[in-house]
Amino acid sequence: MAWSGTYDGGVTEIRKRVLLAKPRGYCAGVDRAVQTVEEALKLYGPPIYVRKQIVHNKHVVSTLEAKGAIFVEENEEVPEGATVIFSAHGVAPEVYEQAKARSLKAIDATCPLVTKVHHEAKRFAADDYDILLIGHEGHEEVIGTAGEAPAHVQLVDGPEGADKVTVRDPAKVVWLSQTTLSVDETMETVARLKQRLPLLQSPPSDDICYATQNRQHVVKEIAAECDVVLVVGSRNSSNSVRLVEVALDAGARAGHLIDYAHEIADEWLEGATTVGVTSGASVPDDLVMQVLEHLAARGFADVAEVTTADERLTFSLPQELKREMKAAVAARAEEAKALVADQLG
């Protein structure tokens, strides 16, 4: 829907605009995970090892690497006795055991909302339920959750996967989900499962995280008015990829996933009057501001922020890190006190 006005003797000007989605960008779990690495670097000094990408964003990872973080795939790449941080996506229990065997100082930066799903998996497995885990095969979060109860968990990768499920007792089966999925596709998968398993139980509370739902909701609000929707996020970010899909399903003429503003192709904007802009939950907002500057330079200087939710949730840093930060502050205070005493003595 183009904006238009009249100027200079009645000539109509087509005004280009940007609809900027809010909420967008960092969620509480991502903010906590990134802060965990930054605070560990300050506390222990580099290098700090991180198993997998701390969050799925190219820019965040490269920025932390420049500060001294070293990203590895597995614990055996970490020198014995060193500090390792587990990513926001969560890990299976065996990963903790591997770290213990190598005398690693492990700091768990798993998002608390992912931890909640882990607890659900353990509880239902303890009650001998079959657990249908809706998620994408190979995603780190799915691997970690399934690792809590491998004998009880079956992966259901989308609605088509529902037809392949087999359970021991149709009266003792529950579904859980990856936290970063499309809400609509997940509900479609659940509906397919319930056609075959009418007694299928749901998780005690939503597994798809608040931030994923909020970002999808605001994109649905703006998509039908947009000629193109630009989603800032990396290709290995599940929630970012889902935002493009949601935009297209909700009526956007085109949708593109980009890491940086310079990736925007001029032909995407040809003939466009309204561009939607949002970002995945692991994207710092300065990357979005760079996109807005890029668009403004091409005539899209009119920006309207569309807000559908006010996010105020925060998560505290991992307890093991907070304890050592507190101890370090106390030690510095004692050193300062001793120094003053020496000078006065």
The residues that are catalytic are 141
SS3 letters for the chain?
CCEEEEECCCEEEEECEEEEEECCCCCHHHHHHHHHHHHHHHHHCCCEEEECCCCCCHHHHHHHHHHCEEEECCHHHCCCCCEEEECCCCCCHHHHHHHHHCCCEEEECCCHHHHHHHHHHHHHHHCCCEEEEECCCCCHHHHHHHCCCCCCEEEECCHHHHHHCCCCCCCCEEEEECCCCCHHHHHHHHHHHHHHCCCCECCCCCCCCHHHHHHHHHHHHHHCCCCEEEEECCCCCHHHHHHHHHHHHCCCCCEEEECCHHHCCHHHHCCCCEEEEEECCCCCHHHHHHHHHHHHCCCCCEEEEEECCCCCCCCCCCHHHHHHHHHHHHHHHHHHHHHHHHHHC
By the 8 A CB rule, do 208 and 180 touch?
yes
Cα–Cα dist 283/232, whole Å: 7
Query: 55 — alpha (psi -120 to 50), left (phi > 0) or beta?
Result: beta
